[in-house]
Amino acid sequence: MWGGRFAEGPSAIMREINASIPFDKALWRQDIAASKAHVAMLGAQGIVSAGDARAISEGLDRVAAEYEADGVPEDWDLEDIHMVTESRLAELIGAAAGRLHTARSRNDQVATDFRLWVRDACHQVDTGLAGLQRAIVTRAGEHADSIMPGFTHLQTAQPVTLGHHLMAYYEMLRRDRSRFADARARLNESPLGSAALAGTGFPIDRDATARALGFDRPTANSLDAVSDRDFALDYLQAAAQCALHLSRLAEELILWASQPFGFVRLPDALSTGSSIMPQKKNPDAAELVRGHAGRIVGCLTALTVTMKGLPLAYSKDMQDDKPPVFEAHGLLALSIAAMTGMIADSTFRTERMRQAAELGYATATDLADWLVREADVPFREAHHITGAAVRLAESRGCALDALSLDDFKQIDSRIDERVFAALSVDASVAARASYGGTAPVRVREQVAAARTALGMEP
């Protein structure tokens, strides 16, 4: 395709290091679509004859049908998807194929194809995340009243509701979806027609090709258009942050599924057994979601470092842009699917959760708050008094509300029998009814709003 100025062909090593077809064949649909938009425009502008334009367009459809049926042939001599497709087109329709590359370069071609691919990827991730959010919201609604310990420093802090805990992930995923939506909106400009780097002398119509490919407009600077990979980095940044959220959720499920916690039974279908210990049920899917987050962050790092310090416009380093994006997308899509299954089909052991909340002095803050509210004790002093009560209960190995009124009176005479109503975990969560708080009434509101936002039945 470019041999004219060369006396010798490339060495085997050059062929191998140069070939991107093993991975960029994933762009074949986008490549065909962009070529069809380009040649239709060339025909409409009279840059190629109507007959040639039609022959090329029909030929591209035949190539696409072959790829669909048999896959893309991996010919290293032809380097990449653009040349493999053009060369097959030439075999099918003859000399007219040579007119397809008029007024374009592989530089604007690959930038266009890759933007189209990332646009689809954003859409797929958004669909997946909406599904995961639906699973979360459904389970949160079922567990708006289920009580569990809330943790800080992984120490029992205050009782919360499981629904509230799950809805925290709904919020993270909501922000993730907005990041992918931003990435998608920003990438939607067409590089096609920027040619190698400087634009072209042919009377092309960039608005027409942009429109045909669903872009909002053509890119405004041809140098930027062929050298920019922000859209891929935007995708990877959103993917890394999303993967990090999934990893935190995975970690919690792993912890909760452990015997000492016993808060959850993960679905058999997403767990594995041990080849030596018959009693084991391992949370492998969750562990792999946690592990994949590391690889996805690695993909972001890889492309960030590849792009750093590249001069304008195109450099071949940029051929390495695709593997990290393809890899990250595959891992993320799988992680979302696995997490959706785990949330939808896990059994939450609400009795164990409640017990853990009751045993962990989770309502100590409620005792302090009660002293402030009912006995007008300054909070710092109330904190101190409560500490003494916890110490006493701990020394007896009992819960706070198992202390007697006399015990309490001895610690501080201002405490009376009404305190017991404040010390139950149910009273504790019901009291935290501030906006965004853990009270069942607030959780039900959050769930209802989320269901509306997701287009679910009320």
| Positions marked catalytic | 153, 274
Residue with tokens 């020394």: 395
Residue from 247, 319, 346, 428 touching ligand ARG (CB under 6 A): that is: 319
How many residues of this chain interact with ligand ARG, rule: CB under 6 A? 10
Closest contact distance (angstroms) between CB of 195 and ligand ARG is 11
CB 242 within 8 A of CB 178: no
Closest contact distance (angstroms) between CB of 74 and ligand ARG is 13
Burial (Cβ within 10 Å: 0-12, 13-18, ≥19) of residue 351: exposed
Residue 247 engages ligand ARG in binding (rule: CB under 6 A)? no
Nearer CB in complex with ligand ARG: 106/164: 106
Nearer CB in complex with ligand ARG: 23/348: 23
Nearer CB in complex with ligand ARG: 84/210: 84
CB 56 within 8 A of CB 96: yes
Residue with tokens 């500490």: 387
Residue 110 engages ligand ARG in binding (rule: CB under 6 A)? yes
Residue 353 engages ligand ARG in binding (rule: CB under 6 A)? no
Nearer CB in complex with ligand ARG: 80/401: 80
Give the DSSP letter string of 265-303.
Answer: E--GGG-B--SS-TT--B-HHHHHHHHHHHHHHHHHHHH
Residues 68, 70, 73: CA angle, nearest 5 degrees:
105
Closest contact distance (angstroms) between CB of 79 and ligand ARG is 6
Nearer CB in complex with ligand ARG: 306/424: 306
CB 98 within 8 A of CB 20: no
Site string for ligand ARG, 275-314 (x = CB under 6 A): ---------------------------------------x
Residue from 106, 164, 177, 245 touching ligand ARG (CB under 6 A): that is: 106
Q: Is the peptide bond before 195 cis (omega within 30 degrees of 0)?
A: no
Nearer CB in complex with ligand ARG: 1/157: 1
Residue from 30, 85, 107, 363 touching ligand ARG (CB under 6 A): that is: 107
Closest contact distance (angstroms) between CB of 145 and ligand ARG is 55
Instruction: Name 150's Cβ contacts closer than 8 Å, sequence gap at least 6.
Output: 156, 157, 158, 159, 160, 165, 362, 438
Nearer CB in complex with ligand ARG: 308/316: 316
Distance between start and end Cα atoms, the chain: 60
Q: In 63-98, which positions are buried (b, 16+ CB within 10 angstroms) versus exposed (e)?
A: bbeebeeeebeeebebbbbbbbbbbbbbeebeebbe
Residue 165 engages ligand ARG in binding (rule: CB under 6 A)? no
Instruction: Name 17's Cβ contacts closer than 8 Å, sequence gap at least 6.
Output: none
Give the pairing of strands 189-190 and 217-218.
parallel
Contact range with ligand ARG by CB under 6 A, out of 105-113, 119-127, 184-192, 205-213: 105-113
d(CA 217, CA 104): 17
Closest contact distance (angstroms) between CB of 229 and ligand ARG is 10
CB 89 within 8 A of CB 36: no
Residue 227 engages ligand ARG in binding (rule: CB under 6 A)? no
Site string for ligand ARG, 7-46 (x = CB under 6 A): -------------x---x----------------------
Site string for ligand ARG, 70-89 (x = CB under 6 A): ----------x---------
Residue 318 engages ligand ARG in binding (rule: CB under 6 A)? yes
User: Which structure tokens are listed for 255?
Assistant: 């912890």
Instruction: Name 111's Cβ contacts closer than 8 Å, sequence gap at least 6.
Output: 191, 194, 225, 226, 228
> What are the residues binding ligand ARG (CB under 6 A)?
20, 24, 80, 106-107, 110, 314, 316, 318-319
